[in-house]
Chains A and B, each alone.
Chain A
C-alpha cells in the first residue's frame, strides 16, 4: 500500500499576499477602502463584517504535534464563506448567506443504538467532560479543492468511550438535523434528508477523528456545521456530517447520503486517494483555496502514517 510521509511545510503553502490582504480587509472594516483603492476600484463595505456572531471559546488547548499540521491555515473568510452544506443551498456562498437563522441553542444530541449508556445530551453537557483542543487539519473536498482549517474539538473516541459501545457495535452513524423550516435546502429533493454519514468503529475511535465545536478559536458559524460536526481529516470532506443531532452505534454499515445519491461515485469509505479517480474527474491533484497551481493530492490526505494500518488488506479501489 502506498503510504506517504506527512509533509513538512513548503514555501508555497504560505498564504499569498492578495489573500492576506483580503483577510485584513475582512477583519478591519476600515482597511476596506484603502485595499479596494489599491486594487483599482471601490469596494463596498457590505462584505467587510460577517453577519454571524463570533464568540471565543475559553480554555482551548494545543493539540499534540502529531495531531495538528504546521501548514498555514486558510483565512477565516475562506473557511466561513466557501462551504458545501446542501441543507442551506448548493452554491458555495449559500450556507454563509442562509444559515444565519438556524437555532443552535438549545441543542440536543441523542447517543443511542448499541451502547450500554444511551443518553439525550444537552450540547453543553455533552462537551463539558472533554478538553477542547485546536487541531489544524488539511480538508480535502471530493471536488478537488482543499483548505487548511484550525478546528477546535475533542476526539469522538472520548464520547464513544463514555457511551460504552456493546461488543456487537461495529459502526457509528451520524445524523444531521432535519428541519426544513430552518434549512431551506431540505425543502428541495437535491439529496435524501436527513443527511447521514457513517464510520467503521475503529475509524471513529481513531485519535485523529474529532467532533468539532469551533474554528479559529471561536464557536463554529452555522455554515460550518454548528454546533457540532464530525471531522475526519483523511477522508473527503463530505464524510464530516454537520449540525449533528444523533450518534448511533450499529452492527451494520450505515448507508451514507452521498452513496445513496450516486453509489457509483461515492462510497462508504471515501478515503482521500489520488490514485482512485472520481468517475467524472481526477483526484490526482487539488487546488488549495487561494493558490493558482494545483498541488498533488496525498494518499489519505497526508495522514497515511497514522491511518493506513486501518485498511490493511482492504482493496481501496473497490472500497472507494
Chain B
C-alpha cells in the first residue's frame, strides 16, 4: 500500500477512533451513573478539557512537523481541529442545557414559546455578564468559520493565502480557551496553568519563526538592492 493510501485508509481511521474514545467513554459513564454525584458538572468539565486538549494538539502539529521533519503530520491537522470543534460544540450544548435551560423559571411551563425566548435571553445575559463565559463563547464562536471552511472546496474558493490568514483565528480560540479555564477555577490554577504554558510555547514558536522569516526576507531584499 502506498504511503498516501496507508494514511487515508489506516492511520486516519485509527486517529478518528481514538479521538472518539473520550466521547464514547463519557456516554458510557453517563449511562451507567459513573460520573459522580453531579454528572452534569462532570461532563461539562470533561468536554471542556477535551476541547482544549484537541486545540493544543492541533496547534502543535505545525511546530512538531517543522522540528521533526515529519511532513505527513499535516494530514492530521484538519481532523484534530474538527475534533476540537466537535468537543467544543458538545461543551457548549451541555452548558446550554444543563446550566442555562435547567436554570430557567418556566413561567408558562416548559413547552411554552416563552421558554425559547427565556433561554435565549439567559444565554445572552450570561455571555454579556460573566467574563469567563464571554471569553469561552468567543473562543467557541471563532472555531465556527474554521470548521465551515475546512473543506478543500473552501481552500480553493478562498485561496491558500487567505485561508491561512483566516485560520489563524485558532490562536484566538486557544488563548480564549485558556483564559476561560483560568477564570473559572476557584483557587487551583494548576491545570489551566499547564494549558497556558503549552499554548504560550506553541504560539511563541510561531512568533520566533515569523521574526526569523522576516529577517531573512529583509536580508534578501537588501542583498538584491
Contact = CB atoms under 8 A, between A and B. Distances in A.
A90 B45 CA distance: 14
Interface residues of A, number: 33
Nearest to A81: B37
Contacts of A78: 37
Classify the interface of chain B: helix, strand, loop or mixed: helix
Contact of B188 (A90, A281, A289): A90
A293 B115 CA distance: 14
Contacts of B50: none
Contacts of A92: 36-38
B183 interface: yes
A47 B34 CA distance: 9
Interface stretch (A34-42, A123-131, A227-235): A34-42
A290 B132 CA distance: 26
A289 to B, nearest CB: 5
Contacts of B34: 43, 47
Interface stretch (B6-14, B25-33, B85-93): B25-33
Given A280-B183, A294-B102, A190 B32 contact: no
A77 interface: yes
A143 B186 contact: yes
Contact of A90 (B98, B103, B130, B187): B187
Nearest to A18: B33
B31 A287 contact: no
A39 B31 CA distance: 7
Interface in B76-110: 98, 102-103
Interface in A27-83: 36, 39-41, 43, 47, 74, 77-78, 81-82
Interface string B16-47: 00000000000010011110111011000000
Give the most central of A22, A36, A93, A294: most B CB within 10 Å: A294
B184 to A, nearest CB: 7
Contact of B187 (A41, A190, A280, A293): A190
Nearest to A145: B38
B131 interface: yes
Contacts of B41: 145, 287
Interface string B185-199: 011101000000000
B131 A22 contact: no
Contacts, number: 65
Classify the interface of chain A: helix, strand, loop or mixed: loop
B4 to A, nearest CB: 39
A22 B33 contact: yes
A261 B187 contact: yes
Interface string A272-300: 00000000110001010110111000000
A191 B72 CA distance: 46
Contacts of A2: none
B187 A287 contact: no
A86 interface: yes
Given A90-B187, A280-B132, A39 B33 contact: yes
Interface string B34-67: 1011101100000000000000000000000000
Interface string B100-130: 0011000000000000000000000000001
A314 interface: no
A82 to B, nearest CB: 4
A77 B36 CA distance: 9
Contacts of A81: 36-37
B130 A281 contact: yes
A280 B184 CA distance: 7
Given A81-B37, A289-B37, 19 more contacts: A22-B33, A43-B33, A74-B37, A78-B37, A82-B36, A82-B38, A86-B187, A90-B187, A143-B186, A188-B188, A190-B187, A190-B190, A280-B183, A285-B103, A287-B40, A289-B38, A292-B98, A293-B102, A294-B102
Interface of A: 18, 22, 36, 39-41, 43, 47, 74, 77-78, 81-82, 86, 90, 92-93, 143, 145, 188, 190-191, 261-262, 280-281, 285, 287, 289-290, 292-294
6 contacts: A22-B33, A78-B37, A261-B187, A262-B187, A290-B37, A292-B98
Interface of B: 28, 31-34, 36-38, 40-41, 98, 102-103, 130-132, 183-184, 186-188, 190
